[in-house]
Amino acid sequence: MTDLPTATATARRGPADPVKALMHRHRELCERAVDPLEIAAGLEAHGVTDRTAARFRHRDVFSLAEELYARVPRDAQTSSAVRELTRPSIGWARWALLPGVVGALAVTGVRLTSGGIRPTVGALGAVAFAVALTLTLRRGPLRAGRGARPLGRVCAGWLLAYAVGGDGLLGDALRGGPDGLWALDPAAATGLAFAVAPALWCAHLFSVQARGKLASSRGLAEFSGRSRPLLLATAVLFLGGLTVCLATAQLVYGSVQLASCAALGLLLWLARLLAAHGFSAAATKVLAAAAGAELLALASVFAGRLPGLALLGRPVDAVVAAWGPGAVPAVVCGAAALALLARAAAVLARASAHCDQ
């Protein structure tokens, strides 16, 4: 009878080796990991925090991952093969300019035609661009990860369509129209189409550099501190490439709403980057909010024509009168891009966002 309290206390305390159960639970992750930080990233993705690690008698997740890495046997050749397979491929590079070329051909076709055939050429060009863009994004570093949502693609399509024809429609609506086809922006269409190339290369650069920092960091906190400046630098680099594309299109086709197109390009790049790393829910919500805001701005102008509802159209009318039609998408897309940048800085600083689970 004297041994009963001791046995009960031992059972309550659990096994003498608390790490062993965790090791068996995540054995596959530990066996295919090429370094302890990859195990730490996997544990982080499964909800293991520093507080959880303390229950396993470790100061933090990385210390726990180091023990798991040391205790699980692995074949050196297998680790080498895994490392080789995880190197990013650049076979997508040959597709990078396809959307820009197709977009330029579509714009040229619209400009060279007239009358009733022009809308048909424009519609065919839009479909061809959508196909080219889909094929390109499926192969590269901006390939959407698990959980990608169709609503995000619909909202992105609306935002692109507004960049090409929204300003013209809004301007005509404020003047009492439209009475027919409104003006389109060929420079915006071509510039954004060619910006797919720097978007892919910048996403590839971010992925490669992040995985490099993942391998060289000594802990999750160190990786987070190094990855946030990398994200901001890559975003600035993409903005530079986007600006070059838009400026070149402006030289060829004339004026372009640089601020609104740059804000839209950054928004779409951040949304796709988040989706590529498995965070499509946040990207979809922000894209939907931006698309809804632009649609609401247009709807308020038309609703303001109804008797007794003239007040609805005055805010948009005042903004356009002060800064032009491009101010509406610039404010909407700029605010949305900042929101997504803050979200990306939070979630893409996690090591688990850069490891295949």
Task: Give the residue-averaged pLDDT of 10-21.
Answer: 53
Please list, in sequence order, all residues whose beta carbon lies within 8 angstroms of the beta carbon of residue 97, skipping any fewer than 6 positions away.
194, 196, 197
Instruction: Residue 190: name the closest of 124, 93, 110, 290 by CA.
Output: 110
Domain that holds residue 43: 4-85
Rounded Cα distance between 134 and 142, Å, is 11
Kind and range of the H or E run holding 145: none
Kindly state whether residues 113 and 33 are assigned to the same domain. Answer: no
Q: Which pLDDT tens digit goes with each residue over 284-331? A: 999 999 999 999 999 999 998 888 888 988 999 999 999 999 999 999
Kindly state whether residues 95 and 186 are assigned to the same domain. Answer: yes
Kindly state whether residues 43 and 160 are assigned to the same domain. Answer: no
Which 8-state DSSP code applies to residue 44?
A: H
- Quick check: helix, strand or coil at residue 177? coil
Kindly state whether residues 200 and 60 are assigned to the same domain. Answer: no
Q: Quote the pTM value.
A: 0.81
The answer to whether the CB of 195 falls within 8 A of the CB of 241 is yes
Q: Which pLDDT tens digit goes with each residue over 26-50? A: 776 666 666 676 777 777 777 676 6
Kindly state whether residues 79 and 195 are assigned to the same domain. Answer: no
Kindly state whether residues 59 and 162 are assigned to the same domain. Answer: no
CA 269 to chain centre: 5
Q: Is the predicted pLDDT of residue 351 greater than 50, yes or no?
A: yes
Q: Which pLDDT tens digit goes with each residue over 259-269? A: 999 999 999 99
Higher pLDDT, 111 or 86: 111
The total of structural domains in the chain comes to 2
Rg (CA), the chain: 26
Last residue of a domain, one of 85, 114, 149: 85
Among 45-54, 115-124, 153-162, 329-338, the minimum mean pLDDT is found in: 45-54
- Quick check: helix, strand or coil at residue 262? helix
The answer to whether the CB of 68 falls within 8 A of the CB of 30 is yes
Higher pLDDT, 306 or 256: 306
Q: Which pLDDT tens digit goes with each residue over 67-86? A: 676 667 755 444 444 444 34
Q: CA end-to-end span of the chain, whole Å?
A: 49
Kindly state whether residues 29 and 113 are assigned to the same domain. Answer: no
